[in-house]
Amino acid sequence: MSREDKEAQEDELLALASIYSEDEFKRSETAPGGEICVCLDLPPNFSVAIKGDCASNEYMGSFEDIVSFLPPIILDFELPPGYPSTDPPAFTLSCKWLSPSQLALLCQRLENLWEEYAGGVVLFAWMQFLKEGTLEYLKINSPYEIQLCEFGPKAIQDVESVTALIDCILDFNEAQQKKFFDSKSYMCDICFSEKRVASRYYTVQIQDGQVQALNCPEPKCSSVATPAQVKLLVGEELFSRYDRLLLQSSLDLMADVVYCPRPNCRTPVMLEPGGEMGICSSCKYAFCTLCKLAYHAVAYCNITSG
């Protein structure tokens, strides 16, 4: 490998890592190459369908739904010693919802792009084409029917079964919609300003010790924030307080749980049914669950005698 090719490869891989997130570009640790995941920008109300007419997949039903996101097109590549001066990257394309013939067309277009760049680095151009040009190049419109067939050496339709494909499409769409929603700020119906009202609202609630059922601040909304959502909104430090107070309040509601009476311990202790002795798992203190003094077995107890 020439020094110029080595420097060009390293510069290109570093540039991709700085431009794209880890979800979009993963550099290989063992060879000059990596994996590129391209999620397409779908038009509004994009409908996908699978018909039960493919003999190679034993699926007799049908599926159709509107999605905002589809699983990514995955480009696995390795840069040969002669790249970019003389040799193109070695690569494969895989996708769960594109047919092998469609993937083969994309592979051919990537190879043509390499020839057009005439010895220059081409990975960024490949990514841009896959993201911005795939739908138009393949003439994909809504409603789009997914075809399931055999595959070729570079074009791999990554499908275990039709049922698994449907689950994958729906799960990915739901996860990406949540990710997109969580990354945005929305107009508050209370103060009519675009800011993270929920973050401030939950912060005040947690600081005041009100951690049970952190509801949406919108009066007409009854949804409750999950711990993962709370953590995302308030940060690590305040979430630790929330987590601790939530555990404590939950334990306080349990009749078979008491706290170690030692002031410097206060570890929750699970009681045996009908028993009057508690043993702290932290400091090993054995105590009477009634008077909270050292366990005295059948000896006189101030609580029971009163």
List pLDDT tens digits, range 148-182: 665 555 555 566 677 888 888 899 999 888 888 77
pLDDT top residue among 28 and 232: 28
Q: How far apart are CA 106 and CA 102, in angstroms?
A: 6
How big, in percent rounded to 5, are the helix, strand and coil portions of the chain?
35, 20, 45
Q: What is the mean pLDDT of the chain?
A: 83
**Predicted pLDDT at 139:** 94
**Predicted pLDDT at 305:** 46
Answer for the pair 105, 138: CB distance below 8 angstroms, yes or no: yes
Q: How far apart are CA 173 and CA 71, in angstroms?
A: 8
Tens of pLDDT, residues 99-145: 888 999 999 999 999 999 888 999 999 999 999 999 999 999 988 88
Give the H or E element holding residue 65. Answer: strand 62-67
CATH class of segment(s) 3-180: alpha beta
Q: What is the average per-residue pLDDT within 19-40?
A: 91
Look-up of token digits 């699970």: 270
Tens of pLDDT, residues 41-73: 999 999 998 865 454 555 556 788 899 999 999
Cα three-residue angle 68-74-77, rounded to 5 degrees: 155
Give me the helices (H) in 118-235, please: 123-137, 162-182, 197-207, 227-234
Q: Which pLDDT band holds residue 12 (cuts at 50, 70, 90)?
A: very high
DSSP reduced 3-state for 197: helix
Q: How far apart are CA 123 and CA 28, in angstroms?
A: 14
Q: How far apart are CA 105 and CA 42, in angstroms?
A: 20
Say which CATH superfamily domain 197-252 falls into: Zinc/RING finger domain, C3HC4 (zinc finger) (3.30.40.10)
Residues contacting 142, CB < 8 A, separation 6+: 43, 45, 46, 47
CATH class of segment(s) 258-306: mainly beta
Q: How far apart are CA 144 and CA 19, in angstroms?
A: 31
Domain ranges for the chain: 3-180, 197-252, 258-306
Buried b (16+ CB within 10 A) or exposed e, 264-282: eeeebbebeeeebebebee
Model-level pTM greater than 0.85? no
pLDDT of residue 306 exceeding 80, the answer is no
Transcribe 112-146 into DSSP letters.
Answer: HHHHHHTTS--HHHHHHHHHHHHHHHTT--SSEEP
Q: How far apart are CA 202 and CA 233, in angstroms?
A: 8
**Predicted pLDDT at 159:** 63
pLDDT of residue 196 exceeding 50, the answer is yes
pLDDT of residue 221 exceeding 70, the answer is yes
Closest CA to 241 of 281, 268, 214, 270: 214
Q: What is the average per-residue pLDDT within 244-267?
A: 84
pLDDT of residue 216 exceeding 70, the answer is yes
Q: Which pLDDT band holds residue 242 (cuts at 50, 70, 90)?
A: confident
**Predicted pLDDT at 187:** 64
Q: Which pLDDT band holds residue 297 (cuts at 50, 70, 90)?
A: confident
Q: Are strands 73-78 and 90-95 parallel, antiparallel or unpaired?
A: antiparallel
